[in-house]
Structure 1
Amino acid sequence: MLKKLECFLAGLPMTIVAGVFLLLDLVPHLMEEFSGTPVQLSFLPFDPAWVTVVISGIPLLYLAIWRIIHNTGISKISSALLICIAMFAAIAIGDLFAAGEVVFIMAIGALLEEATTNRAKKGLKNLISLAPSKGRRLKDGKEEMIPAEEIRQGDILRILPGETIPVDGTIISGETSVDQSIMTGESLPVDKGVGEDVFCGTINRFGSIDISATKVGENSSLQKLIRMVQDAENKQAPMQRIADRVASWLVPAALLIAVSAYVFSGNIVTAVTVLVVFCPCALVLATPTAIMAAIGQATKHGVIIKSGEALEKMGKVDMIAFDKTGTLTYGRLDVSDTISFDETISETDLLSLAASAEAKSEHPLGKAIAAYAKEKEVPVMETTAFRMTTGKGVFAETDNRSLLCGNEKFLIENGVSINSTVRSALERLRTQGKASILVAESQKCIGVIALSDVLRPEVKDMVSRLSDMHTRTVLLTGDHNKTAAYFAQQAGISEIRAELLPEEKVRSIEKLQAENHTVCMIGDGVNDAPALKTADVSVAMGSMGSDIAVDAAEIALMSDDISKIPYLKRLSDAAVRTIKTSITLSMCINFAAIVLSLMEILTPTTGALVHNAGSCFVVPIAALLYDRKFE
């Protein structure tokens, strides 16, 4: 009941009401200061500041008492406690305006902070929805669909093309290509055969397979992924207000000075004035106003920052970990090389033959070749015969020519010899992280088509700029070592950690943190979610990235422009400097107000006005951040 009342009073509508009544109380006070004659609003039977005190004071009192009861040690003493003391002291001497003013400023600060930190948390629900609900079990020679939770270790399951694999298992019959991007982030489906492992949540792209369940229920890879996101979410500490960090010495100092002022002057009004001007309202306002301005500045540039804590931490980052696929690269396959081994066949003719043979293929590499040929307007001929061997390649007849397209093993099985020239080309392409499709005709290998993900053109300059800012970079990817090394070299990244599953990415980040690095993780896939949550601050590629990755991250690049990363660091540095500047200037004003209070120049009412002016001083300073130009 108390919590509901506190939330109601602390909300925006009631805070506006409190502000209106405080303004009504300010008018007669100003008239009294200038005329020297007490003024009373005739249309109100009570002092309007009472409304402000009740509306804004009760939530603050609730917070102060809650922290005294539940917090431990010195954290029991908070800025809320000091302001409550000042509020009650002002009420005790009958200065309701001063009491209302300090609690109202705190209410405004709380609303501003809440506006900068609230964000929806739907990612975990989306991740859970990826868990398959059913599986096809083979029992006594018959197929039966059963709930995924009823699958037991050792059960034999059949997975048809296009189906999601319901548990971790080992293939016991059949061959296929599996989309493992949810687990590893690999851009290419992986060909799988008998004896190889498959993971829960991955997708069977082609070919029917039978698997023996090895890890089921809570032990499956996808469930581990879900738990890692949950654990990392629970580890996230809420942003601690700067005011509360200094409250441990601010409260005793304020009370000591106020008591001393009363002892030496004998004037209780002086003591109350000291408490009023000592209130850390500027500290409360400085952080959220600067953060709101910085977040607004970032939003104009297509960068969504979900919390002030993320903005502050970004400036402290000295190590940035990148995922590869969809982050440093576009996450799509393109033909990168067309190499002919026959002088009579041009590269365009080779592409035409390969595209014609692969036109009916369901394999992702074959589809990519056919799509590339169509894009380049290369002629694609009709096939009179077509046969596909899952996981190996295709046979096709077109224009009275018999063609084989596939991997090295497929060609050898069909009597095609692979000479040293071909092997040398294949090895070179492998070291560049490229997938290769060999093309053969009449028992002779006539060429090779290589496909690769495409590095974003801005990546190299971005990495160089980060290096100039003394920020190290590391590549964390599920791709093969050679693929990772090739792309890292192209990007200018010297540190590589490849062939990583989601939990291994998490361990890599934790290791970097153990070495006293402040780590930023940048990724785009479901498999990146645990690493994004584990890092000190995280950035997701917003337009292409999965909903889960975007939700798991604290910052999202809505245009997928990774060159914004150096801009983010500069912006966060500027925001922190603005906060510190605002606090320093406003505290200088408060210090001057304390001196004037001790000299009995200020009263609680005029002290509240000076204190209010100092608190509001931080707003225009923060506004300058919104329009500032960054490189």
Structure 2
Amino acid sequence: MIKKINDFLAGLPMTIIAGIFLLMDLVPHLANPSGGGNAHPSFLPFDPAWVTVVICGIPLLYLAVWRIIHNPGIRKISSALLICIAMFAAIAIGDLFAAGEVVFIMAVGALLEEATTRRAKKGLKNLLSLAPAKGRRLKDGKEEMIPAEKIQPGDILRILPGETVPADGIILRGETSVDQSVMTGESLPVDKSAGEEVFCGTINCFGSVDISVTKAGEDSSLQKLIRMVQDAENKQAPTQRLADKAASYLVPVALLIAVLSYVFTGNIITAVTVLVVFCPCALVLATPTAVMAAIGQATRHGVIIKSGEALEKMGKVDTIAFDKTGTLTYGRLNVSDILSFDEKVGEAELLFLAASAESRSEHPLGKAIVTCAREKNVPLTEPSDFRMTTGRGIFARIHDRRLLCGNEKFLAKNGVPVDDGIQPALQRLRAQGKASVLVAENQKCIGVIGLSDVLRPEAEDMVYCLSAMHIRSVLLTGDSKQAAGYFAEQTGITSVCPELLPEEKVQNIENLQSTGYTVCMIGDGVNDAPALKAADVSVAMGSMGSDIAVEAADIALMSDNLARIPYLKRLSDVTVRTIKFCITLSMCINFAAIILSLMQVLTPTTGALVHNAGSCLVVLIAAFSPQAASARVSS
């Protein structure tokens, strides 16, 4: 009940009402500065500042008491406690305007901070939805559908095309291609055969396979992924406000100065004035105001920053870790090389033959070849005969020409040698991280088609800009060493960690953090979610990225434009500098006001006005500096 009342009073509508009543009390003070602390409008039977004190003072008192009870050690002393002391001191001498002013400024600060840090956390729910509900178990020669939670290690499961693997296991029978991007982020489905491992949550693309379960339920790879996101989420405690950190020093110093001023001057008014002007309201307002302004500017440039804490941390980042697929690259396959090994077959004819043969294929490599041919306006022919060996290749007849398209093992199994003259081309494609589809006719390999993910055109310039800002770039990817090395070379990234599972990405980030680096992780896939949570601050590719990655990250790039990363870093740097400047300015204003208070130039009422003016000045600087900076860094 008490908390509900407190939340109601601390809300925006009641704070607005408190501000109106404080303004009503301010008018007679401005009209008659010598009227003292009891001046109030003649048409009211009471001082309207009482309304402000009640509305804004009760939540502040509740917060101060709660922290005294629940916070450990020195953290019991907070900025809320100092302002409550100043409020009661001002009430005790009858200066209600001063009492209302300090608690109202704090209420506004609390609303600003809440507005900058509110964010929805739905990513874990989305991750849980990936877990399959049922599995097809083989028992006594019969198939039976059972709930996923009843699957045990040692069970034999049958996975049909298009189904999600319900548990980790080893393939006993069958061949297929598995989309395991949920675990590794690989852009290509991985061909699997007997003896190879499959992971829970991955998708069986083609052939039917039987697996022997090795890990199920809470021990499966997907559940482990979910737990890592949960653990990383729990480790991310909100950063304490600077005002509260400083309060452990401010409260004793303020009380000491107030007591000494009373001892030496014998004037209780001077002591109360010191408490009023010492309140860290401007210090509390500086951070959320600057952050709100920067977040608003970033939103106009397609960068969604979910919290002020993320923006502040981005300003301290010195290392940025990138995922590859879908982040540095588009995450889609394109034909990159068409190499003919037969003088009679040109590149155009090779593409025609391969695309016509693959026109019935459902394999991503085959689809990419067909798409390339259509984009080049190559007329295709329907194969008169078509047979597919899952995960290996296809046989097709085009105009009575017998064609084989597939990998080396598939050609060798069909009696087609891949001689030494072809190997250098294949090795070059492998070194560039590209997939290869060999094309054979009449027991002879006539060519190869290389396919690759596509690098984002702005990636190289982005890495160069970050390097100029003395930001270290690291590539963390589940792709092969060759693919990772090739794309790192194209972008200028020198630190590469390939073939990583999600937990290994987290370990790499933690290793960087343990050596003193402040790490930003940029990714787009489900498999990136634990790493995004483990990093000090994280950025997701919002347009193409998975919902889970976007929800797990602190910042989202809605246009998937990597050029926004240097912009984001510069804006964060400017915001952090603005916050530090505003805090320094607010402390200088407070120091000058304390001197004037000790000289008895200021009273609690005039001190409150000076305090208010200083807070407004800080707010204006904090609000407009990021806007001006955004115009500069985006140009």
The TM-score bracket by the shorter chain reads over 0.9
In 1, the alpha carbon distance for the partners of 2:230 and 2:39 equals: 59
CA contact (8 A) 1:32 1:38 kept: no
**Partner of 2:531: helix, strand, or coil?**
helix
Q: Residue 439 of structure 2 corresponds to which residue in structure 1?
A: 439
**Structure 1 segment 100-179 matched on structure 2, within 5 A:** 100-179=100-179
In 2, the alpha carbon distance for the partners of 1:233 and 1:284 equals: 26
Superposition deviation, residue 314 in structure 1: 1.2
**Partner of 1:259: helix, strand, or coil?**
helix
Provide closer, same or farther for how the CA distance between residues 36 and 491 of structure 1 changes in structure 2, counting only shifts above 3 A: closer
Superposition deviation, residue 297 in structure 1: 1.5
Q: Residue 590 of structure 2 corresponds to which residue in structure 1?
A: 590
Percent identity, please.
76
Q: Residue 624 of structure 1 corresponds to which residue in structure 2?
A: 625
Superposition deviation, residue 26 in structure 1: 1.1
In 2, the alpha carbon distance for the partners of 1:469 and 1:37 equals: 54
Q: Residue 70 of structure 1 corresponds to which residue in structure 2?
A: 70
CA contact (8 A) 2:38 2:94 kept: no
Aligned residue pairs, count? 631
- Whichever residue aligns with residue 112 of structure 1, its letter is L
Provide closer, same or farther for how the CA distance between residues 389 and 18 of structure 1 changes in structure 2, counting only shifts above 3 A: same
Q: Residue 80 of structure 1 corresponds to which residue in structure 2?
A: 80
In 1, the alpha carbon distance for the partners of 2:367 and 2:175 equals: 18
Q: Residue 213 of structure 1 corresponds to which residue in structure 2?
A: 213
**Partner of 2:403: helix, strand, or coil?**
strand
The CA RMSD measured in Å over matched residues stands at 1.2
**Structure 1 segment 179-578 matched on structure 2, within 5 A:** 179-578=179-578
In 2, the alpha carbon distance for the partners of 1:516 and 1:435 equals: 38
* Cα displacement string for residues 197-225 of structure 1 (whole angstroms, at most 9, x for unaligned residues): 00000000111001111100000000000
In 1, the alpha carbon distance for the partners of 2:515 and 2:496 equals: 17
In 2, the alpha carbon distance for the partners of 1:519 and 1:36 equals: 55
Superposition deviation, residue 7 in structure 1: 1.2
Provide closer, same or farther for how the CA distance between residues 116 and 36 of structure 1 changes in structure 2, counting only shifts above 3 A: closer
- Whichever residue aligns with residue 421 of structure 1, its letter is G
- Whichever residue aligns with residue 627 of structure 1, its letter is A
In 2, the alpha carbon distance for the partners of 1:127 and 1:17 equals: 43
Provide closer, same or farther for how the CA distance between residues 40 and 466 of structure 1 changes in structure 2, counting only shifts above 3 A: closer
**Partner of 2:297: helix, strand, or coil?**
helix
* Cα displacement string for residues 568-618 of structure 1 (whole angstroms, at most 9, x for unaligned residues): 221111111101111222222221111111111111111101000001111
Segments of 5+ residues of structure 2 without an aligned counterpart are: none
In 2, the alpha carbon distance for the partners of 1:292 and 1:435 equals: 46
* Cα displacement string for residues 511-544 of structure 1 (whole angstroms, at most 9, x for unaligned residues): 1111111111110000000000001111111101
**Partner of 2:229: helix, strand, or coil?**
helix
**Partner of 1:421: helix, strand, or coil?**
coil
In 1, the alpha carbon distance for the partners of 2:298 and 2:37 equals: 51
**Partner of 1:420: helix, strand, or coil?**
coil
**Partner of 1:91: helix, strand, or coil?**
helix
Superposition deviation, residue 69 in structure 1: 1.0
In 2, the alpha carbon distance for the partners of 1:112 and 1:174 equals: 60
CA contact (8 A) 1:178 1:191 kept: yes
In 2, the alpha carbon distance for the partners of 1:436 and 1:465 equals: 34
In 2, the alpha carbon distance for the partners of 1:593 and 1:471 equals: 41
* Cα displacement string for residues 9-54 of structure 1 (whole angstroms, at most 9, x for unaligned residues): 1111111111111111111222221678975424322211111111
In 2, the alpha carbon distance for the partners of 1:89 and 1:627 equals: 41
* Cα displacement string for residues 164-194 of structure 1 (whole angstroms, at most 9, x for unaligned residues): 0000011000000000000000000000000
Superposition deviation, residue 627 in structure 1: 3.1
Provide closer, same or farther for how the CA distance between residues 326 and 38 of structure 1 changes in structure 2, counting only shifts above 3 A: closer
CA contact (8 A) 1:31 1:39 kept: no
CA contact (8 A) 2:290 2:625 kept: no
In 1, the alpha carbon distance for the partners of 2:405 and 2:228 equals: 42
CA contact (8 A) 1:289 1:618 kept: no
Segments of 5+ residues of structure 1 without an aligned counterpart are: none
CA contact (8 A) 1:297 1:627 kept: no
CA contact (8 A) 2:178 2:190 kept: yes
Corresponding position: 1:21 with 2:24:
no
Q: Residue 60 of structure 1 corresponds to which residue in structure 2?
A: 60
- Whichever residue aligns with residue 517 of structure 2, its letter is H
Moved more, 358-367 or 462-471: 462-471
Normalising by structure 1, we get a TM-score of: 0.98
CA contact (8 A) 1:473 1:493 kept: yes
- Whichever residue aligns with residue 464 of structure 2, its letter is S
Superposition deviation, residue 392 in structure 1: 0.6
In 2, the alpha carbon distance for the partners of 1:121 and 1:38 equals: 49
In 2, the alpha carbon distance for the partners of 1:375 and 1:178 equals: 27
CA contact (8 A) 2:160 2:207 kept: yes
- Whichever residue aligns with residue 355 of structure 2, its letter is A
- Whichever residue aligns with residue 295 of structure 1, its letter is I
CA contact (8 A) 2:286 2:582 kept: yes
Normalising by structure 2, we get a TM-score of: 0.98
In 2, the alpha carbon distance for the partners of 1:530 and 1:35 equals: 62
* Cα displacement string for residues 548-574 of structure 1 (whole angstroms, at most 9, x for unaligned residues): 101111111111111222222211111
**Partner of 1:206: helix, strand, or coil?**
coil
- Whichever residue aligns with residue 21 of structure 1, its letter is F
CA contact (8 A) 2:40 2:48 kept: no
CA contact (8 A) 1:356 1:380 kept: yes
CA contact (8 A) 2:37 2:95 kept: no
- Whichever residue aligns with residue 98 of structure 2, its letter is A
Provide closer, same or farther for how the CA distance between residues 204 and 92 of structure 1 changes in structure 2, counting only shifts above 3 A: same
- Whichever residue aligns with residue 152 of structure 1, its letter is Q
